[in-house]
A and B are shown apart, each in its own frame.
Chain A
């Protein structure tokens, strides 16, 4: 019997909530009885550096890292970051990405160029991409901090478990500490979900 493991790579930069998002995904996977491993490559991430969070779940998970070419799903919290890790995607894998562009000082200082159109660059590789502006959706709901729930909503229909399970674990975090934020986060989740559902490519869950 083959040990099926789902590999989700969540990428972005320090301070965007990448690690929290992966933690919530992990909680949802655990609740369904999966073995889970989660690892970050986050060199000094708090200082605006690159963050990539690897989540693997299935019957039994051995190595915590996703190898290049083996991610089922890449979740990009930032445009250029989704492009940076694209070689981790398996053939037939999918990219769900925020179109936000966070420009580091080395770019604004003129030392490097920001890629002209990361979404187009990924699409040109023949990869299925769902791109959305999580920041705009969050701002529309009145709070930029809702971006994380928007992101999780956006990927909710692309997971091997139901969107409702994921939503439950997001809201659980707020029920305990900030009950006033439950409704706003539920809306943000729905907003992210709708944004991807309305994007061009079909949205069948991972097999």
Chain B
């Protein structure tokens, strides 16, 4: 992928928050940018990689990404690092020491909270990291501010020699709004300055840096008091004054256009004196923050009386429809009842794709008896859903390994014969699964690992990783060999198998055999994600309605191209009542993977071309 020509300076464009941040990072002359993909943060690096003159990388995980950015900053260059909220948990270790060394070249760490949980395993408030690590925290309210705050962030970072946290939410990252961009400036890297007392954090050196960290925090608080990033919008209706950060600021402006409001763009350290002055001019103060009451607690501790989570939820977004009733309650007012009630419509949970190689894996796992399956983070987490129900846990990136070992070692007498399986994808394995597998082999665990190598980071939209053979720009890169890695981590060569996940009998046999042997084993499936270029379509299948017996075996594959056309009740020879499901295949969607053909007992699923010619013969 060649770098694309950046859009003209000073032009006005419709950009997502992530796109605006990439543009601002490029204009700020960031030399090194690193990230691990994760919704909603992924597109920051994806977009930045298209700009010229910037080194960008998909790192193997967020901890490494942050360390790369730290190194670049030490080298005197500007660096940028992006991750989703749970990613900063992974990167917390370097972060908590980075606050002592500070930054040399300007450094912005963007962390995207999935407020509302559109695609995450938890909802957490990353603003805690500002307080925990004593770092300044910037919170944009839309794309333009995301752009502005990155530019301001580099200036702040270098002025105070401190890494700056840019706290985003899904509603910043993925909303598109109008942004007036600027032009690329100039920044000369100062070069690495050898200084062990600053960069070598052994106890003696670190101890000397702690007071400097607190001094810096007070200077930053003074900065926040006067910063133009924190400003008041006057309003005539002084019954309630609002303090808001992030996207909640826009919601407050939308819902209460006549109320005075204080916007905090540099929200930590909080400008307590500015807030105190604002509070004095309003009858009641309401803090509107997503998601936890951080500012509220701080204000209360400082003796500033305010409302917050006594009125507003601690979970999800604070959209106008949430804010208006809460404020009405505070003022003792009643709001009109909405005209139309929500209709009752079936849920539409995300499904795996047609011909997804994971379908065969979960179909097979669902057939296994007496098995507990530790899952991981990725598309394959969907295996917990209908119709497979073949995943028993999801915790964090790479957790399938450790959880599986714990399930093995902690098994009760009643679970003595349980087989323990761990399911993990290629990128998740490289992110944090390898260490878990090493723990399994080292501690002689009895776990069968299914390593689903689909050659991409599927869930976030198909990013590259060290197993794809391509880097972030799509250029050729060294490709890891999973068999060699597993061997090196201590799995016996005969306990490592590569299996085609479209061959159900082979997969079933491999799983049954490996789960019987009481030692670590790894089954690697090696078919590409259907959404990437490596996937090749085959000719589609159809159901020969004359032959379909309604057994429903194919429905259990869970392929979205298979539809039940008709249901019938029937009584088996044994006297048991069953529901027959007569099916059809959506030919336009079918890619001919052949998974559904295999469990079809009457041989009713045939190549579309074959059935067409049979029908022609019948007509004649």
Which residues of A are interface residues toward B (Cβ below 8 A)?
13-14, 23, 26-27, 30, 35-50, 61-65, 67-69, 80-81, 83-84, 86-87, 89, 91, 103-115, 121, 125, 127, 144
Contacts of A41 in B (CB 8 A): 116, 118
Q: Taking A49-B350, A62-B250 as contacts, is the C-beta distance between A36 and B119 under 8 angstroms?
A: no
Residues of B within 8 A of A105 (CB): 351, 386-387, 558, 560
Please name the residue on chain B nearest to A13 by beta carbon: B348
Give every chain B residue within 8 A of A111 (Cβ-Cβ). 346, 386
Given contacts A13-B348, A36-B176, A38-B177, 14 further A-B contacts (CB under 8 A): A23-B176, A26-B176, A27-B14, A45-B350, A47-B351, A62-B254, A64-B175, A67-B319, A69-B338, A80-B346, A87-B338, A105-B560, A108-B562, A127-B340
The minimal Cβ–Cβ distance linking B546 to chain A, given in whole angstroms, is 21
Q: Known contacts being A41-B118, A67-B321, A106-B386, is A91 close to B339, with CB within 8 Å? A: yes
Ranked nearest first, the 10 interchain pairs of A and B with the lowest CB-CB distance are: A47-B350, A112-B346, A63-B254, A44-B350, A49-B350, A43-B118, A84-B345, A62-B254, A39-B175, A38-B176
Pick the contact of B119 from A43, A61, A69 — CB < 8 Å? A43
CA distance A176 to B178 in the complex (A): 23
How distant is A5 from chain B, measured CB to nearest CB, in Å? 9
Cβ contact within 8 Å between A67 and B348: no
Identify the interface centre among B178, B319, B459: most chain A CB within 10 Å of its CB.
Answer: B178
B461 near A: Cβ within 8 Å? yes
A-B contact pairs, 10 of them (CB 8 A): A37-B142, A40-B174, A41-B118, A48-B351, A61-B177, A64-B250, A65-B319, A69-B340, A108-B562, A109-B564
CB distance from A27 to the nearest CB of B (A): 7
A105–B348 CA distance with the chains assembled, in angstroms: 8
CB distance from A113 to the nearest CB of B (A): 7
- Do A64 and B142 touch across chains, with their CB atoms under 8 A apart? yes
In the assembled complex, B619 has its CB within 8 A of some CB on chain A: no
The answer to whether the Cβ of B411 comes within 8 Å of any Cβ in the partner chain is no
* Interface residues of B, count at CB 8 A: 53
Q: Known contacts A47-B351, A64-B171; is A37 also within 8 Å of B459 by CB?
A: no
| Residue on B nearest A2 in the bound complex, by CB | B257
Query: Within 8 Å of chain A (Cβ to Cβ): is B567?
Result: yes
Closest to A37 in B: B177
Q: How far is the CA of A91 from the CA of B337 in the complex (A)?
A: 12
Residue on B nearest A79 in the bound complex, by CB: B345
State A105–B352 Cα separation when bound (angstroms).
Answer: 10
| Beta-carbon nearest neighbor of B579 in chain A | A110
Q: How far is the CB of B470 from chain A (nearest CB, A)?
A: 20
Chain B interface residues toward A at CB < 8 A: 14, 116, 118-119, 142, 171, 174-178, 247, 250-251, 253-255, 317, 319-321, 338-343, 345-353, 379, 382, 386-387, 459, 461, 531, 555, 558, 560, 562-564, 567, 579, 581, 588
With A63-B250, A80-B346, A83-B343 as given contacts, are A68 and B338 in contact (CB-CB < 8 Å)?
yes
Compute how far the CA of A192 lies from the CA of B558 in the bound complex, rounded to whole angstroms: 34
Q: Is the CB of B346 within 8 A of A106?
A: yes
Given contacts A42-B118, A63-B253, A68-B338, contact A86 B320 (CB under 8 A): no
Pair B340/A86 contact, Cβ less than 8 Å: yes
A64 to B588, CA, bound (A): 36
Q: Are B175's CB and A14's CB within 8 A?
A: no
Of A45, A63, A64, A83, most B-chain CB atoms within 10 Å:
A63
- Specify which chain B residues have a CB less than 8 angstroms from the CB of A110 in the assembled complex: 564, 567, 579, 581
Q: Which residues of B contact A49 (CB under 8 A)?
A: 348-351
Give the Cβ gap from A24 to chain B, nearest Cβ, in Å.
11
CB distance A39 to B176 under 8 Å? yes
Q: Chain A residues with Cβ under 8 A from B567's Cβ?
A: 110
A42: B residues at CB distance < 8 A: 118, 174
A68 with B321: CB separation less than 8 A: yes
- Cα–Cα, bound, A202→B379 (Å): 46
CA–CA, A152 and B357, complex, Å: 35
Chain A hits for B562, CB < 8 A:
108
Given the interface contacts A30-B14, A39-B175, A68-B338, does A62 sit within 8 Å of B343 by beta carbon? Answer: no
Cα A36 to Cα B144 in complex, Å, equals 12
Q: Is the CB of A104 within 8 A of B253?
A: no
- Min C-beta distance of A95 to chain B, whole Å: 11
A39 CA to B321 CA in the complex, in Å?
16
Shortest C-beta distance, A11 to chain B (Å), equals 11
Which of chain B's residues has its CB closest to A61's CB?
B177
The chain B residue sitting closest to A107, CB to CB, is B346
